[in-house]
Amino acid sequence: MKVKTGKGANHARQVAGILAEAGCDERVQVAGLLHDVVEDTPRTVEDIRDQFGPAVAALVAAVTEDATIDKYRERKQALREQVVRGGPDAIDIALADKIASLRHALTTHTPLAKRKLAHYGMTVAMSADARHPDLARQAEALLAAYSAGRDGSAPVG
């Protein structure tokens, strides 16, 4: 299985580390470490529940997009709504994911698609109920830095 640039185990560890630095409890950190497992591997939410318990599984489920929704905008809108329903810890995980992805894009000069940046911005905008509001501030600052540093080349993705 091919791992997307900026994703995989290193990305997962970065998300968990961002959550740890923010002061999130171990359950949230574990869910952050596993946040892409259902989307990117054959594992299911039930597998996560069996191995890590219902609380971690519920958080992973809250941040896992519905692959049956074909249209990007609809899928991402549904994901954001699902994250909000998942509560403050799910919002923290979603923000940590965006922080890790933006840090990667900034350090590697990886272009991000306009629609992805729009999704990131809407994720930050819906984060008023985050348990750790500094995560929203970090994501917002990284989005601004990315936008300021763009060289005008066509986005990809």
Supply the residues annotated as catalytic. Answer: 39-40
SS (H, E, C) 98-146: HHHHHHHHHHHCCCCCHHHHHHHHHHHHCCCCCCCHHHHHHHHHHHHHH
Q: Are 39 and 76 a contacting pair, CB within 8 Å? A: no
Q: Are 137 and 96 a contacting pair, CB within 8 Å? A: no
How many CA atoms lie within 13 Å of 78's alpha carbon, on the beta-carbon side?
A: 13
Tokens standing for residue 89: 């810890």
Q: Are 17 and 127 a contacting pair, CB within 8 Å? A: no
